[in-house]
Amino acid sequence: MTVHSIHIFNKKCECIYFTEWNSAKADASKKEKLLEPAAEEKDVDGDPETAKLVYGVVFSLRNMASKLSNQGFSSYKTGTYKLHYFESPAGPKLVLITDPNAPNMADTLQSIYANVYVEHVVKNALVKPNTPIRNQLFRTTLDKYVRNLPNFE
């Protein structure tokens, strides 16, 4: 299974965190961060247009799913990727993009929310709610968690 990226959106539909794994763009970004230490703080939110597109897809699919059935929307699959979605009761929305053959990642997203996001963002008095996440401990813990998933490539 290949994990491509994760987006975290706040209650206001703003992307407050984004990171990529296993892409040429991500590899170039890591090289850039190694060369330029301040690059990490430049673009926490990723590409704003991509974030808007991702949220637009999630918003549309969530609304359509709610009109068609009583069950919520948790994922959808195309020929090139699978999008997994988790919305916490407090408002943050997590979107994980993987390869199309990935199993359902609902439990993984719930675990990321409870064990990584809540522990390093919500319980951290230095992090302002609904603002971009610049907490290095959160970033490191999330990266380690995703890389330790079964079949991470």
Model confidence band, residue 28 (pLDDT cutoffs 50, 70, 90): low
β-bridge mates for residue 7, sequence order: 18, 95
What confidence score (pLDDT) does residue 67 get? 87
- On the 0-12 / 13-18 / 19+ scale of CB atoms within 10 A, 149 is middle
- Say whether pLDDT at 89 is over 50: yes
Instruction: Report pLDDT digits (tens) over 49-58.
Output: 889 999 999 9
What confidence score (pLDDT) does residue 45 get? 53
- Give the residue among 141, 148, 151, 76 at the shortest CA–CA distance from 113: 141
Model confidence band, residue 22 (pLDDT cutoffs 50, 70, 90): confident
Residue 137, classed as helix, strand or coil, is: helix
β-bridge mates for residue 86, sequence order: 94
CB 133 within 8 A of CB 119: no
Instruction: Report pLDDT digits (tens) over 94-132.
Output: 999 999 999 999 999 999 999 999 999 999 999 998 999
Of the two residues 141 and 32, the one the predictor is more confident about is 141
Domain extents in the chain: 3-148
Residue 9 C-beta-side C-alpha neighbours within 13 Å: 21
What confidence score (pLDDT) does residue 1 get? 75
What confidence score (pLDDT) does residue 44 get? 56
Q: How many angstroms separate the CA atoms of 136 and 128, rounded?
A: 14
**First vs last C-alpha separation in the chain:** 6
The architecture that CATH gives domain 3-148 is 2-Layer Sandwich (3.30)
What confidence score (pLDDT) does residue 150 get? 86
What confidence score (pLDDT) does residue 4 get? 93
- Say whether pLDDT at 153 is over 90: no
